[in-house]
Structure 1
Amino acid sequence: MAGKVSNFSDLIQRVTASCLLHPLAATRHYSGELVSDPDEGEKECDPRRGIEEDPEEEEDDEVEEESEEKGGAEEVWERSKREMRAERLVVEMEVIMNDVFDTVSAMKRAYVSLQDAHCPWDAEKMRVADVAVVAELRRLAVLRERYRRSLICHGGAGGGGGCGRGLGSRPAEVREVVAPYEAALEEMKREVKAREAEVDSLKEKLRSSTSLNGKKGRSLSKRRLSCSQSLVAASPAPELFEATMSQVREASKSFTSLLLSLMRAAHWDIASAVRSIEAAGGAGAAAANASIVGVHHAKYALESYISRKVFQGFDHETFYMDGSLSSLLNPGQYRRDCFARYRDMKAMDPVELLGVLPSCDFGKFCSKKYLAIVHAKMEESFFGSLEHRSLVAGGSHPRTEFYGEFLKLAKAVWLLHLLAFSLDPAPSLFEASRGAELHPQYMESVVKFSGRGQVPAGHVVGFPVSPGFKLGNGSVVKARVYLVSRA
């Protein structure tokens, strides 16, 4: 018995020692043998390490490793695609920017050509330059659209996606790019509205002016006034020429009044000045001792002097400022060019025009006529210096009230000259001579006589005040004359 207990105790000790030395998960002891758990399946034991190796765990590890490898490859591929898209976008942006710079340079050259075509006036060159400017602007619009689409398709060089994804992912950048163009478009729309309002205002002023001339009993009839309104922007017409001649007379009277008031303020001897004007105009030897002009009619002598100076060279296409013969070489084209210049000049402020283009043909005309009308002694007595004359002789145009009043007259004569060379046949200028009989169909007296305005018998032309014109349709713009007694 004792031996059995001892053997049994030894057995327990051996099993315990074995379990401690070789621990096995989920094992049982039965009949002194180690048996594997039937629910767990067979497991191999490594006596060197004392741990088990599970085949399923090894398979899971391999799957995880393969997933990690696939995920890393996909991430590398996506990153490479983004880099490729970014590179393509950079290349495309460089191409677009090069095109933008080339287009802007071409537009600047076209705009410079457009400015050059204004002075001297070249209608064909202006048309070609205008077409070129518009073409470059359209090309800029196409480049803008290319740029916008590139941003949308490439997502602003950002995180991928095809066309359409970039628009949702980068809306702020697209709006930032488009905003300046939209602002410029709105500014142009406002400018167009302002120009339209200016055109409407000028049309209203023209209607008011022509209706006022009709009320004052000018030489234009209602039929001619309505015709001049309808034809002012369409084609040249004799009625339009007559209306412009009325504007010349009004501007001449206004400038004459200003000049006479300055002469009186400078304490001029008006009678001596009138005698000098009469002598210069060929009024005869008697004018050196006694004036034929009445006491209150000095303004007519001064207006005659101004008219003679400003209309000198009117029969030449450039007032003899150069030797141009365009009206003879290509008369049809020259007539069209003159009327186009008339329409452009009609709505312009002469002060603003000469501020931008002081040396254009109109600027040269103003300089020439001002120096001929206002001589040095006259200007010095008016203003105490020759500042006006120095500026004008140097190619500039002073912004003063006196010179502004002169520019109104110069512009009116310039427009009349353009209209004269727009008509076919051109009007012929005539002027009454001293001592000539009064012909009512060609002349009118500047002095109104009593007794229903009838000119007393025995009166002849003392001197011409402004010239007249005979038009191609047979109508006549009467010359204005100062009448004196034959005795």
Structure 2
Amino acid sequence: MANRVSYFSDLIQRVTASCLLSGRHESGQVSAGDESEDEKYRSEDEDDEKEEEEEDGEEEEREEGFRVWEGTKEEARNERVTELEMLIGEVFEAVSAMKRAYVSLQEAHCPWDPDKMRVSDVTVVAELRRLGVLRERFRRSVGRECSGGGGRGTWRVGAATLREVVAPYEAAVEELKREVKSKEVEVENLREKLKTATSRNGSGKKGRSQSHHQSKRRVSCSSQAQVAVATSPAPELFEATMSLVKEASKSFTSLLLSLMRSAHWDITAAVRSIEAASYSTTATATSMTDSIVGSNHAKYALESYVNRKVFQGFDHETFYLDGSLSSLLNPDQYRRDCFTQYRDMKAMDPIELLGILPTCSFGKFCSNKYLSIVHQKMEESLFGDLDQRRQVLNGNHPRSEFYGEFLRLAKAVWLLHLLAFSLDPPPSHFEASKGAVFHPQYMESVVRINDGGRMVVGGGQVVGFPVSPGFKLGVNGCVIKARVYVVPRP
């Protein structure tokens, strides 16, 4: 700009000089010095014009080069945008496929479908690997761009976004790896137990009585339970599971009775109410109830009530929660499915399982039995509110100590039910009726009667009320005795 100003200033001087010279020429007074000065100005004018033309040419060349550079940059930008759009499209496609596979994996849990579960699991892992490949592609492309010096802030934002998308799936992969390791450890433990059980069976002595042999077989049944899980359903496994049911029933009943006493319940009246709701209200029933309470045996009446509720519908394949007839339409496949569910569920924590699948078949069973055992007034009296009941009615499962103890009983009964429908033929379920003559081959008394200073249980007693049901196994004819509370014959 300064060059332009000086140029105009010189031009004005030259024009002025030219006017003066022309005046001199007209008057005939132009000298040789003036002519030389005019020549000088003309040459300077010509030089300036040449410089201006050169500057204009250089500006045109710069503008043309800038246009070419802009065009190249625009093409590279468009190519980069197209590449990123394709990459993002593949990411969205992989995430959608991942979601579909995960939904299929969840659906395979309820109803239980091992084949579908395996296929869905393979698909989930494949989509996770695909997302990992896309992440590496993005990192490499960003590295090239960063080394070229362009768009650093943009690639950082894009990388952060992609990390947020992929992070949950990476966490899922790590969780699956941990589960695989835990399963491997469990397999090793089962192998050690198998070796131990095999060595014990080989070193057993045969010169023992029949009763001692049966006792030994019952004791070893619990140690061989894990082995039976890995092979096929067996009567010994059913017996061991029934023992777990008895233990869980006693534990839950003890907790319930403790809560009733803490809430200052009238235990005598409570037991009498339980008996009245289950049996005919006769004078005999009332006297038996009074004697039970007087002998501090209220826990057996309460356990009888709990078992009667939790075993109701045991003979049906779904406890009459629905009208399924799979065991009749395809019995062989149904038996295999039941045993597969038993093996998969045996090592699961019921609280964690229901936290993932609260409305599966087992979840519905737990909700139905809890509402049947713990009625509204009982819960309000024991806990002061109905919070647990509301959660169960809404399809959830409380994480309280009381509900956790109930879930252990519910899981034991559910596993026993799965085993019953895994055996061919299934076990026969029976229950001693009130007033029936005590039969030691099919019944087991929870108390002993004082007969003239002697604690005996024999043919002179009758069943006061059943405590837990019994089973007759059709595979080997073994009988799991029904537990009963006996009273003297009237």
Report the Cα offset of residue 307 of structure 1: 0.5
Q: Alpha carbons of 1:99 and 1:194: their partners in 2 closer, same or farther (altered >3 Å)?
A: closer
Match of 1:192 in 2: 177
Q: Determine if the alignment matches structure 1 residue 467 to structure 2 residue 464.
A: no
Report the Cα offset of residue 268 of structure 1: 2.5
Q: Alpha carbons of 1:86 and 1:483: their partners in 2 closer, same or farther (altered >3 Å)?
A: same
- Cα distance in 2 between the residues matched to 1:348 and 1:314: 22
Match of 1:164 in 2: none
Report the Cα offset of residue 397 of structure 1: 2.4
| TM-score normalised according to structure 1 size | 0.68
Q: Determine if the alignment matches structure 1 residue 118 to structure 2 residue 115.
A: no
What percent of counterpart residues are identical? 62
1:83-129: CA deviations, max 9, x gaps?
98887666444433322221111111111121133234344443442
- Cα distance in 1 between the residues matched to 2:484 and 2:147: 85
Query: 5 Å matches for 1:322-337?
Result: 322-337=322-337
Match of 1:481 in 2: 484
CA contact (8 A) 2:317 2:324 kept: yes
Question: Residue type matched to 1:265 in 2?
Answer: S
Match of 1:140 in 2: 131
- Cα distance in 2 between the residues matched to 1:100 and 1:137: 11
Query: 5 Å matches for 1:93-132?
Result: 93-132=84-123
1:243-292: CA deviations, max 9, x gaps?
11111111110111111122222332322322333333336612454125
Q: Determine if the alignment matches structure 1 residue 251 to structure 2 residue 248.
A: yes
Q: The residue matched to 2:274 in structure 1 has which SS?
A: helix
Match of 2:395 in 1: 395
CA contact (8 A) 2:433 2:465 kept: yes
Q: Alpha carbons of 1:296 and 1:132: their partners in 2 closer, same or farther (altered >3 Å)?
A: same
Query: 5 Å matches for 1:264-303?
Result: 264-282=261-279, 285-291=282-288, 293-294=291-292, 295-303=295-303
Q: Which moved more, 1:307-316 or 1:393-402?
A: 393-402
Q: Alpha carbons of 1:310 and 1:187: their partners in 2 closer, same or farther (altered >3 Å)?
A: closer
Q: Alpha carbons of 1:266 and 1:406: their partners in 2 closer, same or farther (altered >3 Å)?
A: same
- CA-based RMSD: 4.4
- Cα distance in 2 between the residues matched to 1:187 and 1:97: 22
Q: The residue matched to 1:268 in structure 2 has which SS?
A: coil
Match of 1:444 in 2: 444
Which structure is higher in helix share?
2
Query: 5 Å matches for 1:94-243?
Result: 94-144=85-135, 155-156=144-145, 188=173, 192-193=177-178, 196-197=181-182, 200=185, 221-243=218-240
Q: Determine if the alignment matches structure 1 residue 458 to structure 2 residue 460.
A: yes
- Cα distance in 2 between the residues matched to 1:467 and 1:258: 21
Question: Residue type matched to 1:428 in 2?
Answer: S
Report the Cα offset of residue 302 of structure 1: 0.9
Structure 1 unaligned blocks of 5 or more: 1-76, 160-171, 212-216
Report the Cα offset of residue 452 of structure 1: 10
Question: Residue type matched to 1:97 in 2?
Answer: I
CA contact (8 A) 2:225 2:237 kept: yes
Report the Cα offset of residue 349 of structure 1: 2.3
Q: Alpha carbons of 1:394 and 1:91: their partners in 2 closer, same or farther (altered >3 Å)?
A: closer
1:34-61: CA deviations, max 9, x gaps?
xxxxxxxxxxxxxxxxxxxxxxxxxxxx
Report the Cα offset of residue 404 of structure 1: 1.8
- Cα distance in 2 between the residues matched to 1:203 and 1:446: 39
Query: 5 Å matches for 1:301-316?
Result: 301-316=301-316
Q: The residue matched to 1:291 in structure 2 has which SS?
A: helix
Q: Alpha carbons of 1:284 and 1:458: their partners in 2 closer, same or farther (altered >3 Å)?
A: farther
1:131-187: CA deviations, max 9, x gaps?
3323323433554565577679xx45866xxxxxxxxxxxx9xx9999998998698
Q: Alpha carbons of 1:123 and 1:465: their partners in 2 closer, same or farther (altered >3 Å)?
A: same
- Cα distance in 2 between the residues matched to 1:186 and 1:377: 45
CA contact (8 A) 2:110 2:361 kept: yes
Match of 2:406 in 1: 406
- Cα distance in 2 between the residues matched to 1:408 and 1:143: 45
Question: Residue type matched to 1:296 in 2?
Answer: N
Aligned residues between the structures: 400
Report the Cα offset of residue 396 of structure 1: 2.8
Query: 5 Å matches for 1:6-21?
Result: none
Q: The residue matched to 1:484 in structure 2 has which SS?
A: strand
Q: Alpha carbons of 1:398 and 1:142: their partners in 2 closer, same or farther (altered >3 Å)?
A: closer
Question: Residue type matched to 1:256 in 2?
Answer: T
Q: Alpha carbons of 1:100 and 1:176: their partners in 2 closer, same or farther (altered >3 Å)?
A: closer
Match of 2:12 in 1: none
CA contact (8 A) 1:433 1:463 kept: yes
| TM-score normalised according to structure 2 size | 0.68
Question: Residue type matched to 1:421 in 2?
Answer: F
Q: Alpha carbons of 1:198 and 1:352: their partners in 2 closer, same or farther (altered >3 Å)?
A: same
Q: The residue matched to 2:288 in structure 1 has which SS?
A: coil
- Cα distance in 2 between the residues matched to 1:114 and 1:104: 15
Match of 1:67 in 2: none
CA contact (8 A) 1:279 1:287 kept: no
Q: The residue matched to 2:256 in structure 1 has which SS?
A: helix
- Cα distance in 1 between the residues matched to 2:275 and 2:171: 61
Q: Which moved more, 1:177-186 or 1:90-99?
A: 177-186
Q: Which moved more, 1:270-279 or 1:103-112?
A: 270-279
Structure 2 unaligned blocks of 5 or more: 1-67, 149-155, 198-213
Considering only CA atoms, is the larger Rg found in Structure 1 or Structure 2? Answer: 1
Q: Alpha carbons of 1:219 and 1:409: their partners in 2 closer, same or farther (altered >3 Å)?
A: farther
- Cα distance in 2 between the residues matched to 1:176 and 1:263: 57
CA contact (8 A) 2:439 2:459 kept: no
Q: Alpha carbons of 1:116 and 1:373: their partners in 2 closer, same or farther (altered >3 Å)?
A: same
